[in-house]
Amino acid sequence: MIQLVWLIPLLPLIGSVINGLFGKRMGKTAVGLVACVAMVASFLISLSIFIKILSLPVAERSVEVTVFNWITSGAFKLDVTFLIDPLSTIMILIVTGVGSLIHIYSIGYMHHDKSFWRFFCYLNLFVFFMLMLVLGANYLVMFLGWEGVGLCSYLLIGFWYEKKSASDAGKKAFVVNRVGDFGFILGLFLLFWSLAGHGITSLSYKEVFANIHHLDPSMLTIITLLLFVGATGKSAQIPLYVWLPDAMEGPTPVSALIHAATMVTAGVYMIARNNLLFSLAPYTGEVVAVVGILTAFFAATMGLVQNDIKKVLAYSTVSQLGYMFTAVGVGAYTAGVFHLMTHAFFKGLMFLGSGSVIHAMGGEQDMRKMGGLHGHMKTTSWTFIIGAIAIAGMPPFSGFWSKDEILWETFEKGHHYIWALGLLTAFLTAFYMFRQVFMTFTGRCRADHHTQHHLHESPKIMTVPLIILAVLAATGGIIGIPFFEEGTAAHHFLNSVFSSGQHVVNHAVAGGGHVANAAGESEAIHGGLELIMMGVSVAVGLFGIFLAALLYYEPMKKFAPSFWTPENLAARFKGLHTLLYNKYYVDEIYDALIINPIKRLCWYCWRFDLGVIDGIVNGAGWVTRLVAWLMHKFDVYIVDGTINSSATFVSWTSSFWRRLQSGYLQNYALVFVIGLLLIIGGALLGW
């Protein structure tokens, strides 16, 4: 079964090719069918591989499948190899599983779009690249996927390219991602270059990890920091998160699949995959954790005041990604991947839910114009609420288990400030999510009459994926419940992947003197502490929900103190509100600090040129002018000329040599005989 792994990415690729080439003529039903069948088939194969992996002994759960050897030339060898291990299995399950649901949902959501086929072509292509990213057994295949998903993301953000904001958002995502990718490429180059110094030319994870101890820690720190720069771009972390909220210009299923469930988690996956490298570079780990938690916190604060239904979810995504980075930064890789999975469920669910709402509202995204939708769309609202409860971290829903594990691990590993900030973020998350729920689904409908008239529940093809995702969001936390003696099911499953990195981390801790005493005693204390922590985070979440209810839930409003209304609060904390509302002016700051200075620099250069250089030129008189003139001529005739004249030269040579082909038979024979004589003459002279 595992040998069939190549089918998993191939099927979406085939789907994409079919839709890309024939889609225009195939009709919408066929297009949707092709895309979804490819995805579901791919999911089923992933599922069977997962089951197969489960049945294998732990030690044999990492299988490399070489699909083909692309090019071998001397010592240089390039393979397309897939790595099946617990981590990649989980990732392919998420990508194909959530991907299938979102594909099915999209059939309904995109039904009226004229570029239906183009959408599915891109979407399938995205899945293909994403699967290459997570399945690749060497850095090159991962990089191929990494760039590929970036391309698809760009294409899909700008899917409605007629809209200026959409194409601008696409461009912004592209540029910001390039900044990150530059760091990523630099990191990869540095890694290969430094390994090549030790005679390792292979790019495969196995070889790299086995030989990573050759590198000295400072080099590893630089490499991992550069890789992390790539991750901040792809996974929208400070300082490169700015593209993700804008990316909401894309169709909602795209936001759900690419900008919530899968692509943006690529950075987390990358760090988890390279856990050994990051564990060996503790300083980078610190940086990752701090950046992660700061992102989580600031994104959450920005989410508090957004009015666009998708923007709230976007900031929430950035914030949750921050949690994941915090987890992998402190070395809690399992917790990070576990949260990645539950997040895929509930955030995918909420995006699709918001899509359903937007669909019903006829394209309206402003929550201030919604309200009371619960009465009109029961399925959407219930599933959305389940998602909100999950993300708010209420037991026993999935978000509770994963978020709590992250918080607990940070606390346990001694990062108390991070933990505190995480707890605060959990409170904010609960607050803004329920603010959204109450504003959208409860109270009086604030939409105009026309829209109200058209409110309707979405078709089955959209609600069924919602229900499935809601079930997953509610129950997906099971694998995070500590059933096993050595930890949760997730730990148990992923342990083999992270053991090497974990070992390094533990070793470092042990070396630092924090040796755990008698195992039993500490276990007991930890167990108790963990329960208390759980209680605290639940309480914090409940408090957040309660405050949101006081502000935005009609039946609760009467219990609130008189100043406790959104308007009053906004007025009282006007400065803070404006700051948050304008997203800390980060876009403006970037403009002011980076983009404008560059423009200004150009302008100064120009002024300098004008004022000083020209002054000197004038002062120096005609001699200098002659030089300038000569330079100009050089430019025109030599530089430009070389380019143009090489083309001219080729065509001139071409027409010259054409004349050899005169059409006269005996000329041909003559050339033939002359050629022969030249050969013989050359040979007799001994060449």
- Label residue 291 left, alpha or beta by phi (over 0 means left) and psi (-120 to 50 means alpha): alpha
With contacts defined by CB under 8 A, name the span among 134-142, 199-207, 623-631, 668-676 that binds other proteins: 668-676
* 687 counts as binding other proteins under rule CB under 8 A: yes
Q: Is residue 669 a contact point for other proteins (CB under 8 A)?
A: yes
Could you say whether residue 679 binds other proteins (CB under 8 A)? yes
Q: 206 and 200 in contact (C-beta within 8 Å)?
A: no
Check residue 642 for interaction with other proteins (CB under 8 A): no
Q: What's the DSSP call for residue 59?
A: G
Among 48, 72, 578, 596, binds other proteins (CB under 8 A): 72
Q: Tell me how far apart the alpha carbons of residues 394 and 387 are, in angstroms, rounded to a whole number.
A: 10
Which helix H or strand E contains 163, and what residues bound it? Answer: none
Euclidean distance between CA atoms 33 and 13, whole angstroms: 14
Q: Is the dihedral of CA 566, 569, 571, 573 positive or negative?
A: negative
* Structure-token pair, residue 63: 């299988």
Which part of the chain contacts other proteins (CB under 8 A), choosing from 30-38, 67-75, 164-172, 383-391? Answer: 67-75
Q: What six digits make up the tokens of 680?
A: 């013989």
Shortest approach of other proteins to residue 312 CB, angstroms? 43
Q: Look up residue 28 and give its two tokens.
A: 């919408």
**Closest distance to other proteins from the beta carbon of 21 (Å):** 8
Q: Which is nearer to other proteins, 481 or 650 (CB)?
A: 650
Instruction: Look at residues 303, 275, 444, 324 and name the one whose alpha carbon lies nearest to residue 373.
Output: 444
Does residue 643 bind other proteins (CB under 8 A)?
A: no
Quick one: 115 or 496, whose CB is closer to other proteins? Answer: 115
Q: Would you say 69 or 452 has its CB closer to other proteins? A: 69
CA neighbor of 136 nearest in space, from 64, 77, 70, 69:
64
140, 78 in Cβ contact below 8 A? yes
Among residues 74, 511, 561, 575, which is the contact residue for other proteins, using CB under 8 A?
Answer: 74
**Single-letter code of the amino acid located at 154:** Y
Could you say which of 515, 518, 643, 683 contacts other proteins (CB under 8 A)?
683
Selected range binding other proteins among 199-207, 218-226, 506-514, 654-662, rule: CB under 8 A: 654-662
Task: Kindly state the smallest distance separating residue 7's Cβ from other proteins, in Å.
Answer: 16
Distances (CA, A) of 525 to 367, 397, 442, 517, 529: 46, 26, 44, 11, 6
654 is an interface residue for other proteins by CB under 8 A: yes
Residues within window 19-48 making contact with other proteins, judged by CB under 8 A: 21
Is 57 among the residues that bind other proteins (CB under 8 A)?
no
Give, in degrees to the nearest 5, the angle at Cα 315 between 382 and 255: 65
- Report how far apart, in Å, the C-alpha atoms of 596 and of each of 180, 381, 593, 601, 611 are: 20, 44, 6, 8, 21
CA dihedral sign, ordered 431, 432, 433, 439: positive
Of the pair 618, 661, the CB lying nearest other proteins is at 661
| Residue 216 touches other proteins, criterion: CB under 8 A | no
Burial level of 37, CB count in 10 A (0-12/13-18/19+)?
middle
Interface with other proteins (CB under 8 A), residue total: 39
Stretch near other proteins under the rule CB under 8 A, chosen from 269-277, 363-371, 514-522, 670-678: 670-678
In this chain, which of 578, 642, 648, 653 binds other proteins, going by CB under 8 A? 653
Assess 68 for contact with other proteins (CB under 8 A): yes
> Binding to other proteins by residue 670, rule CB under 8 A?
yes
Lookup: tokens for 402: 């994963």
Residue type, 248: M
Q: Please report how close the Cβ of residue 603 comes to other proteins at its closest, in angstroms.
A: 38
Q: Are 313 and 347 in contact (CB under 8 A)?
A: yes
The reply to whether 623 sits near other proteins by the rule CB under 8 A is no
Task: Specify the DSSP element, H or E, that contains 79.
Answer: strand 76-84
Q: Using CB under 8 A as the criterion, what x/- string covers residues 333-362 for binding other proteins?
A: ------------------------------
Task: Specify which residues 484 forms β-bridges with.
Answer: 487
Task: Give Cα 687 distance to the centre of its chain.
Answer: 63
Q: Which of 612/676 has CB closer to other proteins?
A: 676
Q: Is 3 in the site for other proteins (CB under 8 A)?
A: no
Smallest separation (angstroms) from other proteins to the CB of 11: 17
**Residue 66 interacts with other proteins (CB under 8 A): yes or no:** no
The region of 114-122, 458-466, 553-561, 667-675 touching other proteins under the rule CB under 8 A is: 667-675
Which of 59, 71, 515, 623: binder of other proteins (CB under 8 A)?
71
The tokens 């630089």 sit on which residue? 222
What is the contact mask toward other proteins in residues 505 to 534, using x (rule: CB under 8 A)?
A: ------------------------------
Helices and strands of the chain, counted as H and E runs: 31, 2
Binding site for other proteins (CB under 8 A): 21, 68-74, 650-651, 653-655, 657-658, 660-676, 679-680, 682-684, 686-687
